[in-house]
Chain A
Amino acid sequence: MRPAVRLPGETNHQGGSTTTEPIVDPPVELVSPSLQTSGLDPDGWVADASSYDLVRPELPSIAVIGVMVPLIADPTFTTELSVLVDGEEVVSRTCKVGRFKLRVPVPPGQDQWRIELHFSDVQRLPAPDDRTVAAQVRLLGFEAPESLLPHEPTASITPAAPEPAKPAPAATPPFLPASGQAAPAVRAPLPPPPERIFSSETVIRPSAIPFNVQLREMWQYRHLFKALVWRNVRIEFDAMRLGSLWAVSRPLLFAAVFGFFRHLSGANTYVDVPYVPYVYSGLLLWTYFSDAATNAASAVRMDVALLSKIYYPRLLTPLVPTISNLVTLLIGIVPLFIIMAWTEVHPGWSILFLPIVILPCIIFALGLGLLVSALSIEDRDWERVLAFGLTIGLWIAPVIYSPEMIPDGIREIYHLNPMSGALLGFRAVLFDSLPFPAWEWTYSLVSSCAVFALGVRVFRRTELRLIDRL
C-alpha cells in the first residue's frame, strides 16, 4: 500500500512550512482513531523529540510514519533518526534531505503505543518562521500487515538514488526499509478475462469508420445522446430565469410587429386565414429551423473540449441541438393555440400528424448544420454564410405571406426551397381550412433527405481531421 504523499509546499521548500494539510493521513482505513501527541506543531513540524500515542486498530498492524526532512540551506544535511516504540528503539537511520516513509511493526496484544521520534540534528526554518525543526511529520497511521493489495511490492519506495538503509539490529522487529530496489511486483492471480472483452473489438485505422459501424455506435451511445440533449435543454431554460418566456418571445414579437404593419398597410398577403395565427405559426417553425441549423453548425466548435478528450460518434454532436431545440418549438405551440382560440381558427383531426409533418424541417436543418460544420472546419466563413442565408430565407420562404402571392409562372421555382413545403404542410395540419400541399411537402421531404445525405457524407469526410484542425 503506497499512499501518495505530495507536498503542497513542494515548489516552495526554502520557504518551508506553509502546509495546512492534515498531518495524520490515513494510509488505509485502519488509521488510528485518536492521537495524542507532544512536540508536534499543528502544521506537522517537529523538533528533535516528539511522541505520539496511537490507539491501535482492531487488527494487527504496521505503523507507518512519513517524514520529510526539509532542504533549507544545506543540501548535504543529515540527521540521525531513531524510532522508539514504547520506549524501545526499533529502528535508527540516517536521514538525508527529502521524504521517506518508515514502516514499523507494532507488537501485538496492546491497545496503545507510544511512538517516539528522535532526531540528532535540527535546522532553523527561514525567517519569519524561525522555528527550530528537525522534520515534518507527513503521515502517521496504521496499515494492515499484509497489504490489502496482494500485488503490491513490500519495499515500494524507490529513491532516485537508493539510500543505503541501515540494517536493523537483529533483536529488533524487522524494519521494513523505506528504500531499496523496487521489488518485482508479485501479483495475485488475475481473475479470468470477462467474456465481454472478446465480443467487442475496436479497430483504429487511418480511415473513417465504416458507416454501419458508426450507426451501431450511435445506438450504443444513445444514453450519451439523451444526456447531451438534456444538458442543452437544462442550460437553455435554467441559465435564464425566464427561459420559457424567451423561447416564445421572439416569434411572438415578430408576429405582433408583422401583424401591426399589415393592419396599418392593409397589404394583401394572400392569406386565407386570420393573419396573426398564420404569421405566428410560420415564425415559430422558422425560428426552430434557423436555431437548429445555426446550433448544429456550431456544435462541433462548441463541444470541442469534449471532442478533443473523449471519443463518441461525432455525428451525434450536430444532431443534439436539432433535437433539443424541439423543446422550444413545443413551448411555442402553447401561445399558438391561445391565438388560434382567440381568432377562432380551428385545427382538424390532421393535427395528429404534426410530428411527421415537421420532419422535413428537422432533417433539412440537420443536413445544413452538418454541411456547414464540416465546411467550417476548413473555413470559418461558412457559418456566416449560413447566418446570412437564414436571414434572407425568412423573407423568401412563405413565412409572413402566402405563396399565392407568387406569380403562377415562377411558383414552381419558388417551391424549390425545401422549407416552403414544410411550412405549408405545417400550417395545413394546424388550420383545418387550408389544403394539405401533398406535392410540395413530399418534395420538401425528399430534398431535405438529399441535403441530409450530402451533409452526412461531407461531415464524415472531415471527421478524420476534425480534432487536428480545431
Chain B
Amino acid sequence: MTAPDMPVMISVRGISKQYARGHEGGRSFHGGLSSLLRLLRHETIGPPAVKSDTFWALDNVSFDIHYGERVGLIGRNGAGKSTLVKILSRVVYPTCGEARLRGRLVSLLEVGTGFNGDLTGRENVYMNASIHGLSRSEINARFDEIVEFSGVQSFLDTPVKRYSSGMQMRLAFAVAAHLDPDILILDEVLTVGDLDFQQKCLERVQLLVSEGRTLLFVSHSLEALTSFCDRCIWLDDGKIRADGPTTEILAEYRESQIHHTHPDAEQPQPAGALPAAGVLT
C-alpha cells in the first residue's frame, strides 16, 4: 500500500511523549522568585525530568507516510492518537524523537478553532484562514468558494455569535476545506452539520485527497476509515500495534474489540441501541 517511489511527507522517528499524572510538578514552596531563577539558569524548562508519577502517552512511535497516502489512525481512547496528532500539528512538543513534515500541514483538530463571536462571518473567514497561514490575497481568491460552500451567504455580515451552532460549523468547515493543504489531518471532524452538509464535507475531502493530498484521518468510525484510507495505523497504549492495509488492520482491530474488552477503558459504544452488526452505512 505504500508508495515507496513517492516522497515521504511525514516521517516519524521514535517519537515519545511523557505526561505527568495529575497536575504537573505541583507548586513549589519557593514560589515566584525561584521560577524566575530557574528559567534564567536552566537551558530550558522541559522536557520534564523522568518522574515516577508520569506515563508515556506515546512510546517510541515510528512510521513514514508517503505522498498521496491516506492513512487512518485507530485505537481506543487514550491510545495516543490525539497526542500524536498534536505533536504533528506542532501544538505540543515531543519528549523525545523527531518528526519531519513536508509542505503545508492543516490540522483540523477542532472545527471552528479561533472563531470569535464578536466578529462577523466574513471577518472570521479571513481570521480563520490566516491562522492556517494563508495570505490575504490567497483568501480573497477562494472567498466566494468558501461562502458558497458554507451556505451562509446572507449572514456574512452578522456577528458569528448570532449564528446557530450548525451555521458556525458549516462556515468553519468551509474555511477548513479550502485551505489547500499538502498534508491534511482530520480528527473526527466530519460529524458536523446536518446530513446534507456532512455529505458535502465528505465529498470535499475525497476531492482533496484525489488531488494528491496526504491524509491522516483519526476516527473511531471503521466505516469512514474503510472508505477514506488505504492504510491504517493502530495505536495501542502509545505504541504502534499494527500498521498495514486498512482491511487487514480493521479486521484485526474489530476482532480485538469484540474479544478483548477492557473494563476500565472507555470503549466507544455503538450509538444507542443499534446493534453493531446492523450499522451498515
Contact = CB atoms under 8 A, between A and B. Distances in A.
Interface in A126-140: 138
A412 interface: no
Contacts of B210: 149-151, 187-188
A375 interface: yes
B194 A21 contact: yes
Given A26-B199, A464-B45, A468-B19, A190 B67 contact: yes
A349 interface: no
A453 interface: no
Contacts of A198: 7, 102
A63 to B, nearest CB: 16
Contacts of B194: 21
Contacts of A160: 222, 254, 276-279
Contacts of B87: 204
B277 A193 contact: no
Nearest to A232: B116
Contacts of B212: 190-194
B268 interface: no
B88 interface: yes
B21 to A, nearest CB: 13
B31 interface: yes
Contacts of B105: 202
B25 to A, nearest CB: 8
B242 interface: no
Chain A interface residue bracket vs B:
35 or more
B207 A203 contact: no
Contact of B67 (A96, A197, A234): A197
Interface stretch (A110-118, A308-316, A319-327): A308-316
B182 A196 contact: yes
A461 B44 CA distance: 5
Interface residues of B, number: 101
B31 A379 contact: yes
Interface stretch (A98-106, A245-253, A271-279, A394-402): A98-106
Contacts of A264: none
A200 interface: yes
B227 A153 contact: yes
Nearest to A196: B103
Contacts of B110: 309
A190 B226 contact: no
B158 interface: no
Interface string B103-136: 1110101100110101100010011001111111
Given A160-B277, A203-B99, 9 more contacts: A14-B272, A26-B196, A152-B206, A157-B280, A197-B102, A223-B130, A228-B127, A311-B90, A381-B32
Interface of A: 1-6, 8-14, 21-22, 25-28, 66, 69, 71, 75, 96-101, 138, 148-153, 156-161, 163, 178-179, 181-182, 184-185, 187-188, 190-194, 196-198, 200-208, 220-221, 223-224, 226-228, 230-231, 234-235, 238-239, 305-312, 374-375, 378-379, 381-382, 385, 458, 461-462, 464-465, 467-469
